[in-house]
Structure 1
Amino acid sequence: MAPLRTALLQGPAGVPADIEQSLGVLDGAAGRAAGQGARLLVTSELFLTGYALGERLAARAEAAGGAAERRVAEIAARHRIGIVYGMPERDGRAVFNTARFAGPDGEPTVAYRKAHLFGPYERGAFTPGAEPVVQAELDGVRIGLLICYDVEFPEAVRAHALAGTELLAVPTALMRPYEFVARTLVPARAYENGLHIAYANRCGPEGDQHFAGLSCLVGPDGVVRARAGHGAELLVADADPAVRAAARAETPYLTDRRPELYRSLHRDRSSD
């Protein structure tokens, strides 16, 4: 199977809460990525609206099948590239922090709702998702979705590895001073689970937050194939299935697991 050329768009979406401008940025990035042979473009957490919206966030949320989702599908089809992007999703009275995948044929396929909400702001703004593994397929590669803080939980990434995810796309809004997550923890997650991770972060100031950048594509051998700095950037690198097979053969964590020993760990011992 041929490598899946993958692009990561690092940067704010433009003016926070300006969806129209964000769609323009996305259209340009999709064209540049496709021009370099990329078949997948991964953008940051809440890319279309901005992250630090405060009380404006709920007003920007759209239900599934809304206008923004249709526009992204049009961009994906025009450039023949799969796109992973984030925006707030409304479902009844609940608002979710959602990442969606639009296929290169323009068909929206799957949506993932962030399960692990970070800090008082997210817990006050969003309802946590309840589906741990959401996957799509592109060019024969099984792509999984998580969002930012989710990847910091080993159980979340291991669930994807056990479900057959080959490339884990992680739209992110990692803030300073947590750069060690991008530099150390994400490569460790890729290595211990034998999968590629496309970790696409925001960068620069937004509201009272300052985002760390450092987006990366990491191989299943723990080697960083591409790494951004602290400014806006479009990364392009290959996710090679052959590397995944070799890494899992060399470091067979998944096959050497002993699940029968771990069952007791599922009980919450915090009150013991």
Structure 2
Amino acid sequence: MAPLRTALYQGPSGVPSSVGDSLAALDAAARRASAAGARLLVTPEMYLTGYALGDAVPGLAEAADGPAAARVARIAAEHGLGIVYGYPERDGRDVFNSAQLIGPDGERLANYRKTHLFGDFERTWFTPGDDAVVQAEFDGVRIGLLICYDVEFPETVRAHALAGTELLAVPTALMRPYEFVPQTLVPARAYESQLHVAYANRCGPEGDFDFAGQSCLAGPDGAVRARAGATEELVVADADPELLRAVREETPYLEDRRPELYRSLG
């Protein structure tokens, strides 16, 4: 099976002035990613609105099939690639910190609600999701979705691996001084659970936050195949299903587990 060429868009930096500006930047990034041969583009957490929203969150939240989703679908279809993007999702009275995967034909393939909320801001304005594993088939690769803090829990990544996820797309808003997460922890997660991790972070100052960048695509062998710096950037690398199978065969962590010994972990 051919590798899935994956682009990570780290940007734009700063607070977007409108969802329209974010969509215009997404269109430009999708054009560049498509020209580089990418089939999938992953963007940061809360990409459409920016992260530092304060009490503006409820007013900017949209349904998963709302107007912004329709515009992302048109961008995906125009450039012929899938797009993972973060956004605030409204469902009734609840607002979720969500990520959605749109296919290259504009079809909505998967929608994930962040299960592990980070800090007072997120716990004030968002409802945690209840579905740990959300997946979709894309170009013959099983893609799973997590958001930022979720990937820092080994249980969430392992749950994806056991459910067959091959590429884990992780829209992120990681602040300084936690650069060790993309530098050390994300490659370790990819290695220990034997999957590809596409970790797309925000960058630069935004309100009271200073985002660390360092977006990366880490492989199941622990190697990082693409790494962004600290500023706005688009990086592209391949997620190879054949590498995943070879690594799982060489070091069969998933098969050699003894879950009967871990029941006390809860």
Shift in Å at residue 15 of structure 1?
Answer: 4.0
Residues 181-228 of structure 1, C-alpha deviation per residue, up to 9 Å, x if partnerless?
110000000000110000000000000100000000001000000100
Which structure 2 residues correspond to residues 1-272 of structure 1 after superposition, within 5 A?
Answer: 1-12=1-12, 15-16=15-16, 18-266=18-266
Provide the TM-score with structure 2 as the length reference: 0.98
Shift in Å at residue 64 of structure 1?
Answer: 2.2
Q: Could you say what secondary structure the match of 1:31 adopts?
A: helix
Q: Distance in 2 between matches of 1:166 and 1:235?
A: 20
Provide the TM-score with structure 1 as the length reference: 0.96
Q: Distance in 1 between matches of 2:13 and 2:72?
A: 14
For the Cα contact (< 8 Å) 1:19–1:49, is it kept in 2?
yes
Aligned length: 266
For the Cα contact (< 8 Å) 1:16–1:53, is it kept in 2?
no
Tell me the equivalent position of 1:269. none
Q: Could you say what secondary structure the match of 2:237 adopts?
A: strand
**For the aligned residues, what is the CA RMSD?**
0.9
State the identity as a percent: 73
Q: Distance in 1 between matches of 2:201 and 2:239?
A: 18
Q: Could you say what secondary structure the match of 1:63 adopts?
A: coil
Q: Could you say what secondary structure the match of 1:37 adopts?
A: coil
Tell me the equivalent position of 1:270. none
Q: Distance in 2 between matches of 1:186 and 1:223?
A: 10
Shift in Å at residue 136 of structure 1?
Answer: 1.0
Q: Distance in 2 between matches of 1:210 and 1:242?
A: 37
For the Cα contact (< 8 Å) 2:144–2:169, is it kept in 1?
yes
Shift in Å at residue 37 of structure 1?
Answer: 0.5
Shift in Å at residue 51 of structure 1?
Answer: 0.2
Letter of the 2:47 counterpart: F
Letter of the 1:37 counterpart: G
Q: Distance in 2 between matches of 1:222 and 1:41?
A: 21
Residues 3-41 of structure 1, C-alpha deviation per residue, up to 9 Å, x if partnerless?
000000001366435100000000010011011110000
For the Cα contact (< 8 Å) 1:47–1:87, is it kept in 2?
yes
For the Cα contact (< 8 Å) 2:14–2:204, is it kept in 1?
no
Letter of the 1:122 counterpart: E
Q: Could you say what secondary structure the match of 1:120 adopts?
A: helix
**What are structure 2's unaligned runs of at least 5 residues?**
none
For the Cα contact (< 8 Å) 1:182–1:215, is it kept in 2?
yes
Q: Could you say what secondary structure the match of 1:83 adopts?
A: strand
Q: Distance in 1 between matches of 2:111 and 2:28?
A: 23
Shift in Å at residue 65 of structure 1?
Answer: 1.1
Letter of the 1:222 counterpart: G
For the Cα contact (< 8 Å) 1:44–1:85, is it kept in 2?
yes
Shift in Å at residue 175 of structure 1?
Answer: 0.2
For the Cα contact (< 8 Å) 1:190–1:219, is it kept in 2?
yes
Q: Could you say what secondary structure the match of 1:199 adopts?
A: strand
Residues 87-109 of structure 1, C-alpha deviation per residue, up to 9 Å, x if partnerless?
00011111000000000011112
